């Protein structure tokens, strides 16, 4: 299956192409539409914690899904894998805040593999991660040499200065050239000051 999708900053088009099951139609402010599915999740019960793998869009359909998810949670610690969450709108963000409040009541919760869009949301609204620890996050890089874009995973627990250094040392998987971050690393790492 080959999809011809345009590139624009707030969506990770590469991942959508790799994961065509993510598709359902949403309208954008642009003259084309991009397709992302409604929010779903899978649960993996591990010894010490419950892993929640979320997939799809946090939009006007998310509230019901997140309520249902809360009902299934035990007092065990929860790790939310955000890797396949691809879109947030204001209604979805509100639903997410209403989800986080009871989520952190009596248990520890953390986010892992936070995609760039989610980190942007957290930076605009630190409430999203006030009581939820960010374990790791993804940032997008562009190769000025060959135009290749790639997502890199970072350990959010590292010191801010260490992360800033790591941002400077990324290498293109295609041509070996030096990568440039798509967004200002200082802005991306704002969440480190509010965690
Ligand atoms: Zn390159």
Question: What would the two tokens of residue 179 be?
Answer: 């990568």
How many Å lie between the centroid of ligand 1 and the Cα of residue 168?
15
How many Å lie between the centroid of ligand 1 and the Cα of residue 172?
5
How many Å lie between the centroid of ligand 1 and the Cα of residue 163?
22
- In angstroms, the CA 60 to CA 88 distance is 9
How many Å lie between the centroid of ligand 1 and the Cα of residue 176?
6
pLDDT on residue 32: 41
pLDDT on residue 178: 96
- In angstroms, the CA 126 to CA 195 distance is 8
How many Å lie between the centroid of ligand 1 and the Cα of residue 87?
27
Domain positions in the chain are 41-193
> Selecting from 3.40.50.300, 3.40.50.1970, 3.30.750.24, 3.30.590.20, what CATH number does the domain 41-193 have?
3.30.750.24
pLDDT on residue 15: 38
How many Å lie between the centroid of ligand 1 and the Cα of residue 73?
44
Task: Please answer whether residues 148 and 175 qualify as being in contact, where contact means their C-beta atoms are separated by less than 8 angstroms.
Answer: yes
- In angstroms, the CA 82 to CA 41 distance is 10
Q: For the chain, 195 residues long, give each residue's pLDDT as a single digit of tens.
A: 444 444 443 333 333 444 444 444 444 444 444 456 889 999 999 888 999 999 999 999 999 999 999 999 988 999 999 999 988 999 999 999 999 999 999 999 999 999 999 999 999 999 999 899 999 999 999 999 999 999 999 999 999 999 999 999 999 999 999 999 999 999 999 999 987
How many Å lie between the centroid of ligand 1 and the Cα of residue 171?
8
């Amino acid at each position: 299956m080959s999809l011809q999708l345009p590139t624009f900053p707030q969506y990770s088009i590469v991942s959508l192409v790799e994961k065509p099951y993510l598709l359902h139609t949403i309208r954008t402010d642009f003259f084309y539409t991009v397709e992302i599915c409604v929010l779903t999740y899978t649960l993996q019960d591990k010894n010490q914690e419950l892993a929640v793998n979320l997939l799809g869009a946090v939009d006007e359909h998310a509230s019901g899904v997140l309520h249902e998810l809360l009902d299934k949670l035990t007092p065990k610690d929860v790790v939310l894998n955000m890797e396949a969450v691809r879109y947030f709108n204001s209604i979805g963000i509100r639903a997410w805040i209403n989800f986080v409040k009871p989520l952190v009541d009596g248990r520890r919760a953390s986010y892992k593999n936070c995609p760039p869009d989610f980190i942007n949301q957290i930076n605009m609204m630190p409430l999203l991660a006030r009581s939820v620890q960010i374990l790791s996050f993804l940032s997008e890089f562009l190769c000025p040499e060959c135009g290749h874009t790639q997502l890199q995973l970072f350990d959010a627990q590292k010191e801010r200065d260490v992360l800033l250094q790591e941002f400077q040392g990324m290498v293109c998987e295609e041509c070996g050239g030096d990568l440039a971050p798509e967004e200002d690393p200082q802005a991306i790492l704002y969440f480190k000051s509010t965690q």
